[in-house]
């Protein structure tokens, strides 16, 4: 019985839909009964077998296709997937046994799974990339879950505001960005800020520390490799960080440590927007935004020949300079209070404020490790402190001794700072009082006008005993 007569009870529209479902050009099904006789063949198989459906139906499958695996499926009763069949374009075929309600084999079905081998290769490549992204984020999530809150640019000094303007401007485009600054100044925070402020914010954000990768592995980590590319390579190959960053942002941290031969390949990637895996022969197009950071003097490196000039100018479309902490002492109180607040949430510490003496000491300290060192000092002090306030004695000796004002007079005396500090405090109190009055007592609005965080405003209101 043909499938037309079997479903003659259906309406014309229902039969048209059923025909479109059964006889579609993507699967090209062919059905045989338990004796191997063709009972149905898609018209889309005509070019493959050289028979029309009318010619094929009623013939044994071996007459239609002498190499068919459908007779084997009748014997084994097992699904078989993955055979490649030639027919103009190579395609992948699945052989499936057909069972009745009792589980008895009554026939078999052959259908196309992939129309082209290239389709399977492309899907496999996408799967590799997805698996690579899952592996990467699995490794990163433990680090990010506690540190993502610190990816902010804090401060109101001229240098910080200049860096913030540069970050905002660069986020508007896909142009490359070079972030420079000493170690610990927050270059990575700036890079993440740019990513989160850009149109790629919902795409992947991939970080690569060029200084941490062995020279012999950096190329395979960045660009990936095909199976068998080198001894010890994963059997199935592996996508590189650039592939994982497709549709998103890739940060090359400490790019000054990148070997010259890899710099040349990176330049080509930036120019062509495509990569080629180690051991591969086919370029892969990648849509990415590159941010690079360094604590080295790249211009000096160019002069001595250890960094490519053409790569430098390709990277330096936008340049953002993160200032050292010692160059922005006026921002240390705001950064400190921000860190106390965030670390307090993580550790359930009771510390909420810091004494004036401790703050003065921290502003006088040179901070060779910059914000990273400041964070570590505050975290240690919060563990030591037993009350709600960080005191001078909770700080390392090298910092605490800077807060001990000597009153013995002479050139070494720092007692002159006290009158100045009092005058500044009086002025600050008057400004806060006036802003609160103009804001009708609304602390959220007042903090916004003053350009400070609410927690800082609350601390100052308490310190100056301002009535609200």
What are the domain boundaries of the chain?
3-115, 121-323, 325-404, 416-468
Tell me which of 3.30.559.10, 3.30.450.20, 3.30.479.30, 2.60.120.10 is the CATH number of domain 3-115.
Answer: 3.30.450.20
Q: Rounded to whole angstroms, how far apart are CA atoms 74 and 108?
A: 6
Look at residue 235 and tell me whether its pLDDT is greater than 60. Answer: no
User: What is the arithmetic mean of pLDDT over 101-123?
Assistant: 70
More confident residue, 136 or 200: 200
pTM across the whole model: 0.62
Long-range contacts of 387-393 (CB under 8 A, 24+ apart): 387/350, 387/351, 388/350, 388/351, 388/352, 388/353, 389/351, 389/352, 389/353, 389/354, 389/355, 390/340, 390/351, 390/353, 390/354, 390/355, 390/358, 391/355, 391/357, 391/358, 392/355, 392/357, 392/358, 392/361
- Taking residues 68-86, what's their average pLDDT? 76
Q: How confident is the model at residue 257 (pLDDT cuts 50, 70, 90)?
A: very high
- Top pLDDT among 186 and 12 is at 186
The CATH homologous superfamily to which domain 121-323 belongs is P-loop containing nucleotide triphosphate hydrolases (3.40.50.300)
Confirm if 344 and 338 have CB atoms less than 8 A apart: no
Least confident among 48-62, 178-192, 219-233, 338-352: 219-233
257 contact partners, CB below 8 Å, separation of at least 6: 210, 211, 296
Res. 245: pLDDT tops 70: yes
Q: What is the pLDDT of residue 437?
A: 86
CB 40, CB 61: distance < 8 Å: no
pLDDT 10s digits, 408-432: 444 334 444 445 456 566 777 888 8
Give the number of other CB atoms < 10 A from CB of residue 129. Answer: 20
Per residue in 440-460, pLDDT (tens digit) is 889 888 888 887 777 778 878
Residue 66 is predicted with a pLDDT of: 86
Predicted local distance difference test score (pLDDT) of residue 409: 43
Mean pLDDT of 5-11: 53
Looking at residue 136, its pLDDT comes to: 53
* pLDDT band at residue 79 using 50, 70 and 90 as cut-offs: confident
Highest mean pLDDT of the ranges 50-64, 141-155, 165-179, 202-216: 165-179
Give me the mean pLDDT over the 49-60 stretch. 91
pLDDT of residue 137: 54
Please tell me which residue, 386 or 229, carries the higher pLDDT value: 386
* 325-404, CATH topology level: Helicase, Ruva Protein; domain 3 (1.10.8)
What pLDDT does 151 receive? 65
CATH superfamily of 416-468: Homeodomain-like (1.10.10.60)
**What integer best gives the mean pLDDT of the chain?**
82
Query: Model confidence at 131, in pLDDT bands (50, 70, 90)?
Result: low
């Amino acid at each position: 019985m043909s499938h037309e007569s079997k479903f003659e009870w259906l309406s014309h529209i229902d039969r048209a839909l059923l025909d479109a479902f059964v006889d579609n050009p993507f699967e090209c099904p062919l059905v045989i009964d338990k004796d191997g006789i063709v009972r149905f063949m898609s018209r889309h198989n005509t070019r493959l077998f050289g028979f029309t459906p009318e010619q094929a139906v009623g013939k044994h499958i071996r007459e239609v296709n002498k190499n068919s695996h459908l007779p084997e499926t009748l014997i084994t009763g097992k699904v078989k997937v993955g055979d490649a069949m030639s027919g103009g374009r190579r395609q992948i075929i699945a052989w499936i046994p057909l069972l009745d309600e009792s589980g008895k084999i009554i026939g078999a079905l052959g259908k196309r799974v992939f129309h082209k081998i290239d389709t399977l290769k492309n899907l496999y490549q996408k799967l590799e990339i997805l698996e690579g992204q899952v592996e990467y984020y699995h490794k990163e999530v433990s680090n990010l879950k506690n540190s993502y809150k610190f990816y902010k640019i804090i401060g109101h000094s001229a240098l910080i505001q200049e860096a913030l303007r540069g970050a905002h401007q660069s986020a508007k485009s896909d142009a490359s960005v070079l972030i420079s600054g000493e170690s610990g100044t927050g270059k990575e925070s700036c890079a993440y800020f740019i990513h989160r402020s850009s149109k790629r914010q919902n795409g992947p954000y991939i970080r690569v520390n060029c200084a941490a990768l062995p020279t012999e592995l950096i190329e395979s980590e960045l660009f990936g490799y095909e199976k068998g590319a080198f001894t010890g390579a994963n059997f199935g190959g592996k996508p590189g960080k650039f592939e994982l960053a497709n549709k998103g942002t890739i940060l090359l941290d400490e790019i000054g440590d990148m070997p010259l031969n890899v710099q040349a390949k990176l330049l080509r990637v930036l120019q062509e927007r495509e990569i080629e895996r180690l051991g591969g022969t086919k370029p892969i197009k990648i849509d990415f935004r590159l941010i690079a950071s360094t604590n080295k003097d790249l211009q000096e490196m160019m002069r001595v020949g250890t960094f490519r000039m053409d790569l430098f100018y390709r990277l330096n479309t936008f340049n953002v300079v993160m200032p050292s902490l010692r160059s922005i002492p006026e921002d240390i109180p705001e950064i400190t209070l921000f860190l106390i607040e965030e670390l307090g949430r993580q550790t359930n510490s009771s510390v909420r404020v810091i004494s004036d003496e401790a703050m003065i000491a921290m502003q006088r300290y040179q901070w060779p490790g910059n914000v990273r060192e400041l964070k570590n000092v505050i975290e240690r002090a919060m563990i030591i402190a037993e009350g709600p306030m960080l005191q001078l004695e909770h700080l390392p000796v090298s910092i605490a001794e800077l807060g001990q004002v000597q009153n013995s007079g002479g050139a070494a005396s720092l007692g002159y700072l006290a009158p100045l500090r009092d005058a500044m405090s009086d002025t600050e109190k008057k400004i806060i009082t006036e802003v609160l009055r103009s804001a009708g007592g609304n602390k959220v609005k007042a903090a916004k006008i003053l350009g400070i965080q609410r927690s800082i405003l609350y601390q100052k209101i308490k310190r100056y005993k301002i009535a609200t």
